[in-house]
Amino acid sequence: MGVPVLSRRERLRAETAAEIKAVALRLMSEGGPDAISLRAIAREMGMTAGAIYGYYDTRDTLVSALIKDVYTSLVDAVETARDVLPADDPAGRILAWGQTLREWALVNPEGFRLIYGDPVPGYQEPEGGAAAEAAHRACAGLTGLVAAAWPQAVIRQPGEYDWTDFDPILVGLVREEFPELPPAAVALALRVWGRMHGLVALEIYGHLRSQVKDPGRIYLDELRDLTRGLGIDEKSTTRA
Amino acid sequence: MGVPVLSRRERLRAETAAEIKAVALRLMSEGGPDAISLRAIAREMGMTAGAIYGYYDTRDTLVSALIKDVYTSLVDAVETARDVLPADDPAGRILAWGQTLREWALVNPEGFRLIYGDPVPGYQEPEGGAAAEAAHRACAGLTGLVAAAWPQAVIRQPGEYDWTDFDPILVGLVREEFPELPPAAVALALRVWGRMHGLVALEIYGHLRSQVKDPGRIYLDELRDLTRGLGIDEKSTTRA
DNA sequence: TGTACATCAGTGAACGCGCGTTCACTGATGTAC
DNA sequence: TGTACATCAGTGAACGCGCGTTCACTGATGTAC
């Protein structure tokens, strides 16, 4: 079927474009986001800085591509972990999602910083945000987790919400998959996002470890309390 | 009493040192953390870059001083807001703390990034962390808020905790003020910190506003649910 | 009140650095006849 | 199978930039007699 037939030249081009991103990610994971410089990448690849302009119009284009890649890999990871558990184990699925988020962040701290932290020095976010698509996927995924618990959720939403309160694209994703769900469930999903993000961000940026020896236990407590608040119990498939 | 008598020279010195920090903060709030450069500060003050070395040994020394100042101003703000409400209104105090954290961050987004985000490019954290003292104060403050609710808290801690699980300095601060409190309360305080930090960080870094129109409502819902989980009710003194 | 000296804040020029980006070019790879 | 031409990936040198940091110095402010 539509498998694109690439000429030798096109194949090499695509490979080089991919290698540039790969090298950029490696440099970033070694030296922090500052290390993403066209000159450093070129040096690492044994080419000239100017040559990169054959693949990316500008440094910001490259950074946007990196953000997209990294964010996608994060969302892939948490969704995969969620899907290991059956749909009738909503607590297990939330735990898996949350734990995988933290584990991914610990393995890819610079990636986490790239997505959620200060943009690379001098980086200007393009329109719509390089991360918008992946972020919508993540929110929709969390909404799905909340949906499974919605009928019995204790923590519900004090506030009133309307579909127009949310981004249309996100609303589209959610309503397509969960037609019955009220808008307040999306608000709750964002709160769940906040709970996971908060402790992980504090840990990655070094603010938790100076207060507590094992931030992972605090985080696990938080996830457990979350499933409690959602009124769902864990099945036997627990993760320590 | 111990009012230090400064000579004219010493007074001018202290004023200049303070002005350097003030200018640095203003530049940062206008142009992001990258804008903190000795040359830019000197330019702004009508002096030479080299002159700053008469006041700070190195750029990192200056940045550390800034982090300390900014973090202290944040903790001052939330503590002041908390103390407006009486001790017998623990829910109001938590709401005040949380709301003030968010409001401070919205007014000082670059300050928030400086404290919690990526360090300024090239910045190396000194031993103990420039922010350690303020962070301990913040944690101790949150523990105080949790302490007021501890007896009736629903969300307690699933896990077992020991005093040795936490930083000794933090433990000292807490046990001095709340001798009765078990170590698990500190773990809960850290979770509370995470809940507040999560949504505020997502909002400041622009991840929430692309999903929801009014992140403040989500945040307020989260704070309200927090007081519910702590088993404390709001008195009449609510803040919208 | 006046002079001689010490202190010290700030100057200005220089150092070496790495950066993003541009551009005329070379030389290998691919295509058409 | 061989030749003539087009494509195009990558070169290397240059541009102008702002940065942190050093250092010999100037000139005003303060101090001691």
- DSSP single-letter state for residue A3: P
Q: For residues A78-89, give the mean pLDDT.
A: 97
Nearest protein residue to nucleotide C7, judged by CA and C1' positions: B9
Closest by Cβ to B139, choosing from A159, A211, A220: A211
3-class DSSP assignment, residue B138: helix
CA-angle at A230, arms to A227 and A236, nearest 5°: 40
Shortest CA gap B34–chain A (Å): 7
Give yes or no for a contact between B82 and B145, defined as CB atoms under 8 angstroms apart: yes
pTM of the full predicted structure?
A: 0.94
Q: For residues A75-103, give the mean pLDDT.
A: 97
For B68-122, how does the pLDDT look when each residue is reduced to its tens digit (9 = 90+)? 999 999 999 999 999 999 999 999 999 999 999 999 999 999 999 999 998 777 7
Closest by Cβ to A165, choosing from B117, B193, B212: B212
- DSSP single-letter state for residue B88: T
Q: Which residues of B26-41 are buried (b: 16+ CB within 10 A; e: fewer)?
A: ebbbeebbebbbbebb
For A141-158, how does the pLDDT look when each residue is reduced to its tens digit (9 = 90+)? 999 999 999 988 878 777
> Cα-Cα-Cα-Cα dihedral of A116, A108, A130, A63, to 10°?
110
Are B116 and A212 an interchain contact pair (Cβ–Cβ within 8 Å)? no
Nearest-angstrom CA–CA distance, A25 and A128 = 23
Nearest-angstrom CA–CA distance, B47 and A212 = 44
pLDDT (0 to 100) of residue B236: 52
B80 touches strand D (CB under 7 A): no
For A13-32, how does the pLDDT look when each residue is reduced to its tens digit (9 = 90+)? 999 999 999 999 999 999 88
Owner of token pair 């209104």: B89
pLDDT (0 to 100) of residue A35: 87
Q: What is the Cα Rg of chain A in Å?
A: 20
Side chain identity, residue B142: L
Are B194 and A121 an interchain contact pair (Cβ–Cβ within 8 Å)? no
For A172-222, how does the pLDDT look when each residue is reduced to its tens digit (9 = 90+)? 999 999 999 999 999 999 999 999 999 999 999 999 999 999 999 999 999
pLDDT (0 to 100) of residue B178: 95
Q: For residues B207-217, give the mean pLDDT.
A: 96
Which residue from A172, A110, A113, A112 is spatially nearest to A139, judged by alpha carbons? A172
Residue A233 in tokens: 């119990």
Give yes or no for residue A240 having a pLDDT over 70: no
pLDDT (0 to 100) of residue B235: 67
Closest by Cβ to B191, choosing from A165, A207, A222: A222
Q: In angstroms, what CA-CA distances link A112 with A116, A122, A202?
A: 6, 18, 12
Nearest-angstrom CA–CA distance, A224 and A227 = 5
Give yes or no for residue A237 having a pLDDT over 70: no
CA-angle at B105, arms to B107 and B112, nearest 5°: 115
Nearest protein residue to nucleotide C12, judged by CA and C1' positions: B48
A8 touches strand C (CB under 7 A): yes
Residue A125 in tokens: 């976010």
Helices (H), A108-233: 109-116, 132-149, 168-177, 184-204, 215-229
